[in-house]
Structure 1
Amino acid sequence: MTKTQECAEFRASMRYSRRNALRIGGAAGLSLTLPTLMRHQAAASDSGSATFGVAKRVIMLYLHGGHPQQETFDPKPNGPSAVRGEFSAISTSLPGVQFSEMLPQIAKLADRMSIIRSMSHENANHVQASYPANTGHKHPPELKSRGDFPPSPDHFPPFGAVMDKFRPSGRALPNWVRIGPLMRRSNGTVLHGQISGMLGAKHSSFVVDQKLLPKDVQIEAVRYGDDLTSVRLNDRQNLLKQIDEHARLIDESVKVRSFDQYYQRGFNLLCSNETRTAFDLASEPAAIRERYGKTEFGQRCLLARRLVEAGVPITNVSYCHTPRGSWDTHSSNFSKMKDSLAPTLDTAFSALFEDLEERGLLDETLVVINAEFGRTPKINSRSGRDHWPWVYSLALAGSGAGKGSVFGSSDESAAYPASHGRDPKDFAATLYHLLGIPPNTLIHDAVNRPHQLILGRPIHEILA
């Protein structure tokens, strides 16, 4: 955006009529500041948008470690030789737009996707950077030097927890499911933005964390044991196994207030035939399972499709558990991309997209490829790329996402935004807009203090 455009937008925003001025003056007596009033005006405007609330379900694919923008959605075939890498760029189904040759199947879908090439922030720590990626909120600058530290019950909640609170389905199925492990660093520190934070344990995700590749796979989280009857499910110790992972991460006082509701929900869920049918991955035809790829990530994506079909509002799919096998390619970036990372993503995402489309589910389902940041322009001495939050790419497809939209751009080295740089808080605002969460929504912490949920501005340019 040029300075002329910026000034024009500023002048437009300041064109208040005499009536608006009187309203502002009156509002001051009601403790409504000008920024607050403008937020309410924005809320009214957003709520009237054609894309507000169109996404009934979301599948969030999280590429832990950070995918290299150069080897995915923003190749630089004509960039400096020291940064452009080993792979070529290929044409996509969207004229004039290229992806890396490592994503040939996704390239065929570009005319039905939205790509953001100018995401940007300043925190290069995996643990901390995952927080804004999953919540739209960032840590104070003084915490950056702290490095890895555990998540806190005072943290803002991720998208799934928010939807569980504000858009409960009222069905036996869970509102928010995480497929795959709770993502951690090698030192065991949990990436931020995965647990329910200030909303409490009752809004935690339902977790499927197991191997999914076996032909006769049974989802342990919804399976009765041989000697486990529905009567025995009333035993709190049995249900505690479902939430033990979260219980270790939250404050004792929060547990006391939240667990009764959480146990009841768990009981209803585990006793539901609807739930067990939705999670019956083994019932999928062999050809469909093959289509998604013989990888854990591929089968997680297939299970996510089953959950969407059953009506689960939001599903998170983790790529991996720790940096081992992740997109954190500090060494051998190109061989890892070629042999594993890119083919796995290309196969799984393209299968998920096409499967949802064929089943008539894509119009109400948004699929997102998300990560905490990208990778360095400069290739290091180990043929790797290091952490780089200053510019990276995200991808969206499905409900509410524009078809054939590329927003923003990076410079010739894929190092910094060349146009329309946007923060993760804007991505969060975009997602909440599509999910129908008003921009003036407040959430309350454990002592009932109000907090503004949405801080950014929706990226309307990528919306349908």
Structure 2
Amino acid sequence: MDSKTHTTDHSCGRVPRRTFLADVGMGFTGMVLGAMLHRDKIARGAGAEEWLPPDGKPHFAPKAKSVIWLFMIGGTSHMESFDPKPALNRYAGKTIAESPYADALKNPLAGNVRIVVPDDANGHIRQILYPLQVGSRKRGESGLEISDWWPNLGDCADDIALVRSMWTTDNNHGAQLQFHTGRHALEGPFPTIGSWVHYGLGSLNEDLPQFVVLGTPIADCCGGQAGHGAHYLGPEHDGVQFSVDPKSPLPFATPGPEVYREEQEREFELLGRLNRLSSIQYPDDPALRARIKSYELAFRMQAAVPEVLQFSNERNAIQSLYGLDRPETKTFGEQCLSARRLVERGVRFVQIFHGNNGGAGAWDAHGGLKAGHSKLCGQVDRPIAGLLKDLKQRGLLDETLVVWATEFGRTPGAQGGDGRDHHPFGFSVWMAGGGIKGGIAHGATDELGFHAVENRHYVTDIHATILHQMGLDPRRLEVPGQKRLEIDYGQPIREIIA
């Protein structure tokens, strides 16, 4: 046989050099050696034309190491949370046209994107002004005005930066996916902000995923798994769902009580050898690459994740700080405490969802706003405040960026007798830690809370701010062949950066 046959025909018993190199490697390194060689243009020659993913290093000095992303599903009312509007009480019962603010009905321009304002028949204007359903007061030395449904978070007012001038283009709950990807849901799925962070920076802890999802994610109607997906970046950058149940934190990756760890190690060893051969033969297959990584990571996580979720080794005072001793706050409190323990161990991005009800979300207050929002705020206010206070006392807040968000706000006008409809034209989010100024309010809506009118920000400006604080330039994360619009990149909100 000639030399060509010797290097290509595995049946003759000869193993190509690349296969041998990968086979002698151990564990994770050996399993992905072929892909690494391919990525570095060793396997195919230095002149090969191919896309090189990031090297896991920030583009410039970062101010934050990790992100905790808190998302309220359904659309929290900005007026009953972080942007109170006394004019709603003064003109309650009047139409918008009868108030001094009739101009609010004019179509706005949102950057270069025109938002089409639907008429009443479509149910998104709601002409009759509805009074505020809760009081508010100035909090902290900064005097940020926050509603009385957020008393514990109000204690942290001097640590947060309110952004009261958000806008988006989807007036239905596809806006949940849009907030995570920056694109309207009708345009198709795109990578989420958590996936971009994972893709750009890589791992700080090889025993834990770098993008973790807690709580029940958005429902299929509003984006589903795409709300924490990586799309064209590859499945290895998807978020990994955890359960805070220490008895079953990884039900998808637990072999069961009848399988001994030694037996599983042998199984993984065999699987690794088979996958190594496949990774050399198919180095461009992202699904194979993700599967190899996920098998190895899942095995390591079986030991690492239960330890993260052992809340019993936390002092009683810390458990109480998060509300673990109260039935109404226990579930979300465990998720927030888990988030702290995860970033403490080097996890880059922790995404926590609240309010999944199998549909549009519990915060979707078309009716019963007062009863619904007061209950929901009661579930999350103490845990979120506890998270900020705990991070701060441990010296972790400076390097952990906490983001609170929701897909849009609620209408100034009433829906039915006691609710508010969807409102994409102006709403609020906030950020804290990770090099963000505290005790400030940036941007503003008009007197009715209808339009963002000052320092207006599309949702990707939040993404750009996160990436900037993590030391990443979104333009340098460009993937060849994947078209991105100018608005996809966003602009860091410089005014809130310390």
TM-score class, shorter:
0.7 to 0.9
- CA gap of 1:455–1:220, structure 2 versus 1, over 3 A, is closer
Aligned CA-pair RMSD: 2.7
**Out of 176, 191, 195, which is 1:130 matched to?**
176
Counterpart of 1:184 (choices 219, 226, 230) is 219
- Cross-structure match for 1:226: 257
Alpha-carbon distance change, 455 to 189 in structure 1, aligned in 2, over 3 angstroms: closer
Residue 354 of structure 2 corresponds to residue 319 of structure 1: yes
Letter in 2 for 1:360: G
For residue 318 of structure 2, what is the aligned residue in structure 1?
Answer: 288
- Cα offset, 1:332, TM superposition: 0.5
- Tell me the equivalent position of 2:167: 120
- Tell me if structure 1 keeps the 8 A contact 2:217–2:224: yes
1:133 partner amino acid: F
1:270-419 to 2 correspondences below 5 Å: 270=302, 273-293=303-323, 294=327, 295=329, 296-321=331-356, 322-323=358-359, 326-338=362-374, 340-419=375-454
SS in 2 for 1:331: coil
The answer to whether the 8 Å contact 1:58/1:315 transfers is yes
CA contact (8 A) 1:120 1:417 kept: yes
Distance 2:155 2:226 in 1: 34
CA 1:66–1:306 in 2, change beyond 3 Å: closer, same or farther?
same
- Does the 8 Å CA contact 2:249/2:305 hold for their aligned counterparts? no
In the other structure, the counterpart of 1:255 is: 287
Residue 97 of structure 1 deviates from its aligned partner by 2.9
Q: Is the 8 Å Cα contact of residues 122 and 389 (structure 1) preserved in structure 2?
A: yes
| CA contact 1:126–1:191 (8 Å) conserved in 2 | no
Could you tell me how far apart the structure 2 residues matched to 1:420 and 1:172 are? Answer: 42
User: 1:428-461, CA deviations, whole angstroms, 9 ceiling, x for partnerless residues?
Assistant: 11111111111322343xxx52445952111100
Deviations 1:326-356 (A, max 9, x none): 2111110111122x11122211111100011
TM-score (norm 2): 0.70
Shift of 1:413: 1.0
Counterpart CA distance in 1 for 2:376 and 2:177 is: 23
Give 1:209 deviation, angstroms: 3.5
The runs of at least 4 aligned residues of structure 1 exceeding 6 Å deviation read none
Cα separation, 2, equivalents of 1:235 and 1:189: 36
Q: Describe how 1:85-164 pairs up with structure 2 within 5 A.
A: 85-127=132-174, 129-139=175-185, 143=186, 155-164=189-198
Q: Does 1:58 align with 2:67?
A: yes
Q: Cα distance, 1:323 vs. partner?
A: 4.0
AA at the equivalent of 2:373: M
Q: Distance in 1 between matches of 2:236 and 2:458?
A: 30
Q: 1:452 to 1:442 in 2, by over 3 A?
A: farther
Read off the aligned partner of 1:159 and give its amino acid letter. Answer: I
Q: Distance in 1 between matches of 2:67 and 2:265?
A: 30
SS of residue in 2 equivalent to 1:181: coil
Looking at structure 2, the residues matched to 413 and 235 of structure 1 have their Cα atoms a distance apart, in angstroms, of 63
Instruction: Give the superposition deviation at 1:63.
Output: 0.4
- Contact kept? 1:55, 1:364, Cα under 8 Å: yes
Aligned equivalent of 1:196: 230
Shift of 1:138: 3.6
Tell me, in whole angstroms, the C-alpha distance in 2 between the residues paired with 1:333 and 1:394. 19
Report if the CA contact (8 A) 1:218-1:282 is conserved.
no
Cα pair 2:409 2:428 within 8 Å, conserved:
yes
With over 3 angstroms needed to count, the CA separation of the structure-2 counterparts of 1:258 and 1:223, relative to structure 1, is closer
Question: What secondary structure sits across from 1:76 in the alignment?
Answer: coil
Residues 33-52 of structure 1 correspond to what in structure 2 (within 5 A)? none
Kept in 1, the 8 Å contact 2:82–2:162? The answer is yes
**In 2, Cα distance between the equivalents of 1:324 and 1:135?**
18
* Separation in 1, partners of 2:447, 2:141: 21
Normalising by structure 1, report the TM-score.
Answer: 0.74
Q: Is the 8 A contact 1:130 1:191 kept in 2?
A: no
| Equivalent in the alignment of 1:264 | 296
Whole-Å Cα distance in 2 between the matches of residues 97 and 188 of structure 1? 32
Residue range with higher mean Cα deviation, 253-262 or 79-88: 253-262
Paired residue secondary structure (1:69): coil
SS at match of 2:382: helix
Could you give the per-residue CA deviations for residues 155-198 of structure 1, whole angstroms, max 9, x where no partner exists? 3211222222221125222111001123205x586274321211
Match for 1:342: what amino acid?
C
Residues 77, 89 of structure 1: 8 Å contact kept = no
- Give distance in 2, aligned partners of 1:289 and 1:323: 31
1:305–1:96 distance in 2 versus 1, CA, 3 Å = closer
Specify every segment of 5 or more residues in structure 2 that has no aligned partner in the other structure, as ranges: 1-57, 93-128, 272-284
- Asked if the contact 2:144/2:439 (under 8 Å) is kept, the reply is no
Consecutive unaligned residues in structure 1, runs of 5 or more: 1-45, 145-151, 240-252
- Residue 167 of structure 1 is matched in structure 2 by 201
Counterpart in 2 of 1:77?
Answer: 86
Larger radius of gyration: 2
> In the alignment, which residue of structure 1 is the partner of 2:99?
none
Q: Which residue pairs with 1:19 in the alignment? A: none
Rounded to whole Å, the distance in 2 between the matches of 1:421 and 1:356 is: 30
Deviations 1:212-236 (A, max 9, x none): 4xxx755245766322333326758
Tell me the equivalent position of 1:35: none
Aligned to 2:453, what secondary structure does the other structure show? strand
Change (3 A) 1:462 1:234: farther
State the match for 1:13 in structure 2: none
SS of 1:71's equivalent in the other structure is coil
The residue type paired with residue 66 of structure 1 is: G
Question: Is the contact between residue 176 and residue 222 of structure 2 (CA under 8 Å) also seen in structure 1?
Answer: no
Deviation at residue 278 of structure 1 after TM alignment: 2.1
Letter in 2 for 1:157: P
Q: What's 2:471 paired with?
A: 436
Q: Quick one: distance in 2 between partners of 1:285 and 1:326?
A: 32
Q: How many residues align structurally?
A: 377
- SS of 1:126's partner is coil
- C-alpha distance after superposition, 1:258-277 (max 9, x if no partner): 3223323323333xx44432
